[in-house]
């Protein structure tokens, strides 16, 4: 297996962004923004896969000029090239469409392997990798904890319930999202960090039209309305109150304490109880 290009799709976020209470203007901290822990883990996986496959590593993101900081960090840690895509960035489907169109507009072959974080820190839903795999016509493996090349194949491990794991053999092209519990991003050397500060960042601008027109209907309650019950019978308030509360109904069956001597006798008591209430013939 020989991959031409391994890409890491990163998300630049600012966890300390705030809004002015009077004007509503958003202000960012230029030193707090960056990639999330899951995206940094995806970049480390991309660097390792590129080395194992003898391929080039591309770091790509969707955003404005502030996202250059994330791409420069990717360059410093060993990415061969970077790309910033400017375009609609509204939801998971829109971000995936902008990212895919940017990779197409970049020219050249599309990546054989695309690595993403399982979700971003700006209230991301984790749907971008799935949408991206659909657009690229690639296989997808989401929520991975391990990813490596073994015996010429791309192998992955995914966490399941009850402490189980699912082992996957992926075919290319593939889109993979990883959890932040994997390997930590390597530390960039000082010469590479200094060189990345002035390295040019290619930018591709795309205009993505929505695939589906959203039609809003009349507002309605989320839950179904309660059923309309008939009014209680009775001319006097006391009679209606007794009908509502059931105070005048016959007394309920008193509880019975059973102490069977054997398991067979206990089973017979349970069956008899079910027959009395028509649960059994």
Residues 37-92 have pLDDT tens digits of 888 888 888 888 888 888 889 988 888 888 888 888 888 888 888 898 887 777 77
For residue 93, is it within any domain? yes
pLDDT band with cut points at 50, 70 and 90 for residue 126: confident
For residue 238, is it within any domain? no
Cβ-proximal residues to 237 (8 Å cutoff; 6+ apart), any chain: none
For residue 222, is it within any domain? no
**Per mean pLDDT, which of 69-83, 156-170, 249-263 is the most reliable?**
69-83
- Check residue 265 and give its pLDDT: 92
**Among the listed residues 186, 136, 120, the one whose alpha carbon sits nearest the alpha carbon of residue 7:** 136
**Per mean pLDDT, which of 11-15, 31-35, 152-156, 172-176 is the most reliable?**
172-176
pLDDT band with cut points at 50, 70 and 90 for residue 15: low
Q: Which domain holds residue 130?
A: 5-15+24-205
- Check residue 178 and give its pLDDT: 87
Q: How many Cβ atoms sit within 10 Å of the Cβ of residue 96?
A: 25
- Check residue 251 and give its pLDDT: 65
For residue 195, is it within any domain? yes
- Check residue 267 and give its pLDDT: 92
Q: Is the pLDDT of residue 123 over 70?
A: no
For residue 59, is it within any domain? yes
The answer to whether 172 and 134 have CB atoms below 8 angstroms apart is no
For residue 62, is it within any domain? yes
Domain count for the chain: 1
Instruction: Give the CATH number of the domain where residue 34 resides.
Output: 3.40.50.620
Higher pLDDT, residue 35 or 170? 170
The DSSP bridge pattern shows strands 12-13 and 34-35 to be antiparallel
Least confident of 92-96, 111-115, 157-161, 206-210: 206-210
The DSSP bridge pattern shows strands 34-35 and 18-19 to be unpaired
Ranges assigned E (strand) in the chain: 5-10, 12-13, 18-19, 26-27, 34-35, 56-62, 81-86, 113-117, 139-150, 153-159, 165-170, 174-178, 203-205
For residue 54, is it within any domain? yes
pLDDT band with cut points at 50, 70 and 90 for residue 173: confident
- Check residue 1 and give its pLDDT: 47
- Check residue 26 and give its pLDDT: 65
For residue 97, is it within any domain? yes
- Give the pTM: 0.66
């Amino acid at each position: 297996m020989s991959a031409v290009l391994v890409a890491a799709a990163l998300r630049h976020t600012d966890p300390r962004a705030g809004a002015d209470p009077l004007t509503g203007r958003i202000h960012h901290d230029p030193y707090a923004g960056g990639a999330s822990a899951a995206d940094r883990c995806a970049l480390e996986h991309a660097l390792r896969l590129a080395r194992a496959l003898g391929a080039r590593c591309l770091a790509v993101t969707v955003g404005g000029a502030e996202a250059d900081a994330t791409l420069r960090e990717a360059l410093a840690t060993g990415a061969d090239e970077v790309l910033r895509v400017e375009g609609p960035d509204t939801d998971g489907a829109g971000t995936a469409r902008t990212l895919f169109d940017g990779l197409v507009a970049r020219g050249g072959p599309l990546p054989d392997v695309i690595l993403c974080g399982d979700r971003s820190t700006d209230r991301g839903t984790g749907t971008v990798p799935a949408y991206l795999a659909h657009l690229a016509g690639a296989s997808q493996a989401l929520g991975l904890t391990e990813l490596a090349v073994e015996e010429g194949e791309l192998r992955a491990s995914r966490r399941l319930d009850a402490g189980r794991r699912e082992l996957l053999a992926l075919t290319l092209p593939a889109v993979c999202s990883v959890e932040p519990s994997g390997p930590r991003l390597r530390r960039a050397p000082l010469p590479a960090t200094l060189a990345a500060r002035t390295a040019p960042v290619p930018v591709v601008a795309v205009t993505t039209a929505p695939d589906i027109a959203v039609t809003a209907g009349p507002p309605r309650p989320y839950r179904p309305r309660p059923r309309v019950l008939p009014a209680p019978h009775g001319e006097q308030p006391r009679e209606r109150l007794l009908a509502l509360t059931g105070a005048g109904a016959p007394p309920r069956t008193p509880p019975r304490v059973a102490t069977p001597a054997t398991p067979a006798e206990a089973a017979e008591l349970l069956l008899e109880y079910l027959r009395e209430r028509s649960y059994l013939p």
